[in-house]
Chains A and B, each alone.
With several copies, the nearest count.
Chain A
């Protein structure tokens, strides 16, 4: 089936938890270069909490599940990326209010709201070397795929490809925000840690839908 339903969502979050647990040390290492080394820890904690909160719900709507995940991440991971991911899920949930299932069109809305929420909360623009540099191509790709009527699996894989490319491109940028900003020119050449998180998310989502 080429849709995510409210029954699938708890399993998707479990998948998120698993990959962030796997990527924990890699993210810590990335964040240690020009940050405070907490990113692996906070993402693992945040998504574990989201999974627990979502699976504790009973027969909840897509919107409620996404919102619950956001609130759980905010509580468990009060770091920059924790709160931004929480914001993303909360804004995304509002964008798919009343949707019974998430296809390409709905997930395009979700990722646009996710990106806009993060950019607004973080007060950043594309090119500032933040997670938004990857969220932006994800959202834009999803819109295009929705317009061209692409199936969800295909759309997500294309979005993932554009995200990977954008992640690679963050190496050429100089950080403008957060702890990394203090390192200025030294951040050039280093892949942005928060952007890596966004790639992990879209890849896990694409893989999950492929297997549905």
Chain B
């Protein structure tokens, strides 16, 4: 296994030690490296807590910072954090205005966040929950609540983070996060598997000349596996799945996220964006904000995803707002 690691069991904790050494603006609580929080919580603000498995940097902890999130429960690679870790983060992050849990729609995470919320309730902390379920490949229309949460959760963080920074109430922040969730669609394509350090070898294979459209960020089944095609054709096929669920007739402003899964060069993400922009314009969309890079990865998986958020007058300025975390910086123009 060609990876920079020592004992695979220590991978996540050593990564966290590196992060804390590099970025004094984040720290951990409860004597547990995996209880990740901003060093300086903002008094009176609704706390935003996320969490999930490791192996997806900058997701999840990477969005903890100014105008974004306040804490994250850090799980093992592709494993949920424990309810206790989430609870500890919740307690530190709560500044009297309650805490919003904002994470991806996976069984393990749902169960542990719900449990943490119940325990927080015993401690008199009010919590609310919004889950990202943006992956159009993972359930049909009508069953959106069963969909996996993937890169599009970035838009939920961005919108909810900016709303919370404006000192909106827990209900308001939750409503905005939910609105961003309902309006976000993502479709991904994977070209290669990735390696979980403790397993040491790829947990599935994709043929030398194959791609899988719709594959999940842990290698979950996608929609079709087929021969690798020209970038424009791949984008067209992906965008068709998004366009089937979004129309830009009455509201045309959108934000777009082109996300690399890990090994795919940035150059290729721009080739993908070029076509995505053409397709969106053709469909009548007006691209107001663009984010291109690695936002939600699967270790060294090769592949990419496209997320589109349909903006409205409330969401647009929240997506435009500045943000500053150790892993994501956005400067408002």
Task: Specify which chain A residues have a CB less than 8 angstroms from the CB of B108 in the assembled complex.
Answer: 79-80, 83, 178
Say yes or no for B84: interface residue by CB 8 A criterion.
yes
Given contacts A86-B115, A121-B111, A177-B107, contact A80 B80 (CB under 8 A): yes
Q: Is the CB of B110 within 8 A of A78?
A: no
CB within 8 Å of B: which A157-181 residues = 177-179, 181
Complexed CA–CA distance, A20 and B270 (Å): 37
Question: Per a CB cutoff under 8 Å, which of B83, B111, B221 touches A182?
Answer: B221
Task: Specify which chain B residues have a CB less than 8 angstroms from the CB of A83 in the assembled complex.
Answer: 80, 82-83, 108, 111-112, 115
Q: Is the CB of B110 within 8 A of A123?
A: yes
Q: Is the CB of B83 within 8 A of A184?
A: no
CB within 8 Å of A: which B113-152 residues = 114-115
Task: Specify which chain B residues have a CB less than 8 angstroms from the CB of A182 in the assembled complex.
Answer: 216, 218-221
Complexed CA–CA distance, A148 and B208 (Å): 64
Say yes or no for A75: interface residue by CB 8 A criterion.
yes
Complexed CA–CA distance, A132 and B107 (Å): 14
Task: Specify which chain A residues have a CB less than 8 angstroms from the CB of B78 in the assembled complex.
Answer: 36
Complexed CA–CA distance, A75 and B82 (Å): 7
Classify chain A: how many residues form its interface, as a range. 20 to 34
Q: Is the CB of A78 within 8 A of B80?
A: yes
Complexed CA–CA distance, A74 and B114 (Å): 12
Say yes or no for A93: interface residue by CB 8 A criterion.
no
Say yes or no for B75: interface residue by CB 8 A criterion.
yes
B149 → chain A closest CB, angstroms: 14
Q: Is the CB of B107 within 8 A of A74?
A: no
Question: Per a CB cutoff under 8 Å, which of B82, B216, B219, B221 touches A78?
Answer: B82
Say yes or no for B297: interface residue by CB 8 A criterion.
no
Chain A minimum-CB-distance residue to B114: A121
A133 → chain B closest CB, angstroms: 15
Q: Is the CB of B80 within 8 A of A79?
A: yes
Q: Is the CB of B115 within 8 A of A75?
A: no
Say yes or no for B85: interface residue by CB 8 A criterion.
yes
Complexed CA–CA distance, A178 and B110 (Å): 10
Q: Is the CB of B220 within 8 A of A74?
A: no
Complexed CA–CA distance, A38 and B110 (Å): 18
Complexed CA–CA distance, A7 and B106 (Å): 39
Q: Is the CB of B115 within 8 A of A87?
A: yes
Q: Is the CB of B82 within 8 A of A74?
A: yes
Complexed CA–CA distance, A195 and B115 (Å): 21
CB within 8 Å of B: which A74-119 residues = 74-75, 78-80, 82-84, 86-87
Say yes or no for A127: interface residue by CB 8 A criterion.
no
Complexed CA–CA distance, A78 and B76 (Å): 10
Question: Per a CB cutoff under 8 Å, which of B82, B83, B107, B112 touches A178?
Answer: B107
Task: Specify which chain A residues have a CB less than 8 angstroms from the CB of B216 in the assembled complex.
Answer: 182
Q: Is the CB of B115 within 8 A of A121?
A: yes
Complexed CA–CA distance, A179 and B109 (Å): 12
Please encode chain B, from 67 to 110, with 1 for each CB lying within 8 Å of some chain A CB and 0 for all others. Answer: 00000000100111111110000000000000000000001101
Q: Is the CB of A74 within 8 A of B83?
A: yes
Q: Is the CB of B115 within 8 A of A80?
A: no
Given contacts A83-B112, A121-B114, contact A78 B107 (CB under 8 A): no
Given contacts A122-B107, A182-B221, A184-B221, contact A78 B79 (CB under 8 A): yes
Complexed CA–CA distance, A84 and B83 (Å): 11
Q: Is the CB of A80 within 8 A of B111?
A: yes
CB within 8 Å of B: which A14-45 residues = 36, 38
CB within 8 Å of A: which B204-254 residues = 216, 218-221
A50 → chain B closest CB, angstroms: 14
Q: Which of A38, A78, A86 has the most B CB atoms < 10 Å from its CB?
A: A78
Q: Is the CB of A74 within 8 A of B84?
A: yes
Q: Is the CB of A122 within 8 A of B111?
A: yes
Complexed CA–CA distance, A84 and B108 (Å): 10
Complexed CA–CA distance, A122 and B81 (Å): 16
Chain A minimum-CB-distance residue to B108: A80
Q: Is the CB of B84 within 8 A of A78?
A: yes
A82 → chain B closest CB, angstroms: 8
Complexed CA–CA distance, A83 and B112 (Å): 7
Complexed CA–CA distance, A38 and B78 (Å): 12
Complexed CA–CA distance, A87 and B83 (Å): 11
Q: Is the CB of A79 within 8 A of B115?
A: no
Extra A-B contacts (4), CB below 8 Å, given A78-B81, A183-B221: A36-B79, A38-B79, A86-B115, A182-B221
11 example contacts (A-B, Cβ-Cβ < 8 A) are as follows A78-B83, A79-B80, A79-B108, A80-B80, A80-B111, A121-B111, A121-B114, A122-B107, A122-B111, A178-B107, A179-B107
- Kindly list the 5 A-B residue pairs having the minimum CB-CB distance in the complex, ordered from nearest: A78-B82, A182-B220, A178-B107, A83-B111, A80-B108
